[in-house]
Chain A
Amino acid sequence: MAAFSLYPVLATAWQSLFLQNQAVRVPRFVGLENYLALAQDETFQRVFGNTVLFILGTVPVSVALALALALLLNRELRAVGLLRSAFFYPTVLPMVSAAAIWLFLYQPNFGLVNQAARALGLGGPNWLGDNDLVLPAIMLMAIWKQTGYFMLFYLAGLQNLPGEVFEAAELDGASRWQQLRFITVPLLSATTLFVTTIAAAGSMQLVDQLYVMTQGGPDNASNLLLFHIYETAFRFQNQGHAHAMTVILVALLMVFTVTNFRHAGRRVHYDG
């Protein structure tokens, strides 16, 4: 286990201090130069910005949507089970297959998205070929893919809410909206923190679709950090930069998961 997760973190941190690319025959120790070069690099800046945008664009929307779905689907009905599955099934699909399907949906001429747009009298843009549209298009797909998964945690959270509190609120004449706003949502805050952190950490690893749909293009408009690490290491053969970016990615992921764990520890404590 240590060989493939603990050792590589240390190894990659060490390697990130060396200049290694096709131009140098023997890796040379350069200290933090790879990091400084990345800070100056326009592609890296763009990719980093995209990654932040991708997180900010997908996480809040899918978490909010997941909460809304869970609230509506928190009842025991046969039809409800079916609806839950309809929202959950994208989680089970391999990302590559989902990407193949969405590549087709977004196809500019006969893709279903543009056919629907034209039927409504709207223009049909080239979603994946447009600098401004490509990232939102990928985000939409990511939201579709993940929301059902997050919904599960809210459903479980709702099951664990204490019924007495709602009875008391009812007696005090609280409306359903007030109960939702002042009781349900605050009591679910632990779930929200958990879901948000796994969503953020997960969205940083969501890159298979780029390989299928855009290769990070056009002009890096849809490129994300992990995909850029992949292409830097295996296409551009710039190992030094790839290692430095891996360190940055791991550091970011740790921030999210440590938050999650600290909170998980607290929750266990509260439960006694």
Chain B
Amino acid sequence: MLDRLGLVLLGLVALLWTVPLLWSIAVALRPSDVSVAAGSPWWGGGLTLANVGEAWDRVPFGLYYVNTVIIVFGILAVQLVTITLAGFAFARLRFPGRDLVFLLVLVQILVPLNALIVPNYSTIRQLGLFDTKLAVMIPFFASAFGTFFLRQTFKQVPRELDDAAVIDGAAWWQTLWHVYLPNARSALVAFSVVSVSFHWSDFLWPLIVTNSDKSRPLTVGLQTLTQMGESGAQWPLVMAGTLLVVTPLLVLFLLFQRQFMNSFMRSGIR
């Protein structure tokens, strides 16, 4: 009995937790001629996608979408290659100075890139990459955490499998492809889920290294819209823009809830 009561109470708190999202959806779909200040804050007498359409026209969301997808998957593609190769090298290859280099990798996990916006901005300027999508991506091409994560995963692959492949005459890259990668599939998926949602959400760095629409992602575009909204109090428009930014992530999350949560848990250090 007490148990059931607890569950109901918990359900109410959970409902409270979802109110921000539900309300933003309700407002985004509200007819824009019915002010949020008038009547019910939840229901404006009808549902419409007009706000979404207007938000799409007001700032170039289409372009921002393309940019975000290029940035996010560009980062991921390069990362998957670099962390696989580096993780494999640290896990199974022997080369002079390996442990020292690995220590350097570990040190880099300690320093989040977020904290280094000022010096990294100078580097981007020196490289002549300012206001390009490459500038947004390049600091993340190698992932210290991903390297560490893959090294741990590869280390769990039984040595015997590796030895067997070598006896069969496989080169190191064949061993990697046929023996190690199939065993690391779930680790790579977990890493990808977190990488994509992390970079989809990134804001401060792209804001700093871009200054035109051609290289800006959705998050920075949404901010432009939010500032317009504040002056004109066009909240339905701003909420529609917000939905445009979060919907892909949210839909993926709702479809693969368990996988998402497992991925985030496994890559706790990001």
A residues within 8 Å of B by Cβ?
1-9, 11-12, 15, 69, 72-73, 79, 81-98, 100-105, 107, 109-110, 112, 115, 144, 148-149, 152-153, 155-156, 194, 198, 201, 204-205, 207-208, 211-212, 226, 229-230, 233-234, 239, 242-243, 246, 249-250, 253-254, 257-258, 261
Q: Return the contact of B204 from the options A7, A12, A207 (Cβ within 8 A).
A: A207
Known: A12-B118, A104-B238. A205 touches B249 (CB 8 A): no
CA distance A89 to B36 in the complex (A): 25
B34 within 8 A of A: no
In the complex, the answer to whether A194 meets B115 with C-beta atoms within 8 Å is: no
In the complex, the answer to whether A226 meets B138 with C-beta atoms within 8 Å is: no
In the complex, the answer to whether B18 meets A86 with C-beta atoms within 8 Å is: yes
Q: Which residues of B contact A234 (CB under 8 A)?
A: 121, 208
In the complex, the answer to whether B114 meets A226 with C-beta atoms within 8 Å is: yes
CA distance A13 to B115 in the complex (A): 13
Complex: chain B residue closest to A84, CB-CB: B261
A-contact 0/1 string along B125-162, CB 8 Å cutoff: 00000000000001101111000000000000000000
Q: Return the contact of A95 from the options B17, B105, B144, B203 (Cβ within 8 A).
A: B203
Q: How far is the CB of A193 from chain B (nearest CB, A)?
A: 12
Binds A, one of B87-95, B169-177, B183-191, B252-260: B252-260
Sort A-B residue pairs by CB-CB distance and give the 9 closest, nearest first.
Answer: A1-B142, A8-B119, A94-B201, A4-B139, A86-B14, A110-B37, A12-B119, A205-B114, A152-B265
In the complex, the answer to whether A1 meets B105 with C-beta atoms within 8 Å is: yes
A-B contact pairs, 15 of them (CB 8 A): A87-B14, A93-B201, A93-B246, A97-B245, A100-B226, A100-B241, A109-B37, A112-B23, A148-B17, A152-B265, A153-B265, A205-B114, A211-B223, A243-B119, A246-B116
CA distance A82 to B20 in the complex (A): 17
B: number of interface residues (CB 8 Å)? 77
Complex: chain B residue closest to A94, CB-CB: B201
What is the interface of chain B mostly: helix, strand, loop, or mixed? helix
A-contact 0/1 string along B220-253, CB 8 Å cutoff: 0011001000100001001101100110011001
What is the interface of chain A mostly: helix, strand, loop, or mixed? helix
Q: Which residues of B contact A2 (CB under 8 A)?
A: 104, 108
In the complex, the answer to whether A97 meets B115 with C-beta atoms within 8 Å is: no
Known: A1-B144, A72-B10, A229-B117. A85 touches B24 (CB 8 A): no
Q: Which residues of B contact A86 (CB under 8 A)?
A: 14-15, 17-18
In the complex, the answer to whether B249 meets A93 with C-beta atoms within 8 Å is: yes
In the complex, the answer to whether B246 meets A87 with C-beta atoms within 8 Å is: no
